[in-house]
Amino acid sequence: MEAGVYGLVVGVSDSKYSPNTQITYAEYLTTISRLIDDEVESKEDYGEWYEKFIDSCREKGVLEDDEVIDPNQPITREKMIKYTCKALDVEPYNSIEVIFKDII
């Protein structure tokens, strides 16, 4: 609810968030863009609804210029962490120690 109040996320309609569906690259990168780019909402819309947000992520270095994504495909947790670290300028931790219980 707080993320909605701050304009970081919006629902799939005026009254529905659809929390049990998988998040797409477009949706996640839109949220990241809103966190790191104060001007993204005022940029002109063009093409698909998510294009200005993805372009913002490229401009800010979250996405590499030559990185190809399918905006409408579900995003993996690995990619979410990668993009979050880049957005926050956090170096990934390199270790052989596994800290997640669901790693196979």
Q: Print pLDDT tens along the chain (104 aa).
A: 566 666 555 665 566 666 677 899 999 999 999 999 999 999 998 899 999 999 999 999 999 999 999 999 999 999 999 999 999 998 766 777 766 666 55
Kindly state whether residue 65 falls inside one of the protein's structural domains.
yes
pTM for the model: 0.74
Note whether residue 103 is domain-resident.
no
Does residue 104 lie in a domain region?
no
What total of structural domains would you count in the chain? Answer: 1
**34 in a structural domain:** yes
Residue 52's nearest CA partner among 75, 29, 24 is 29
In-domain check, residue 10: no
pLDDT at residue 80, as a whole number:
93
CA-to-CA distance for 13 and 44, rounded, in angstroms?
Answer: 22
User: Does residue 76 fall inside a structural domain?
Assistant: yes
pLDDT of residue 20: 73
Q: Quick check: is 39 in a domain?
A: yes
Residue 46: phi, psi to the nearest 5? -150, 150
pLDDT of residue 21: 78
Q: Report the distance separating Cα 103 and Cα 55, nearest Å.
A: 32
Residue 9 within a domain: no
Domain extent, residue 57, equals 20-88
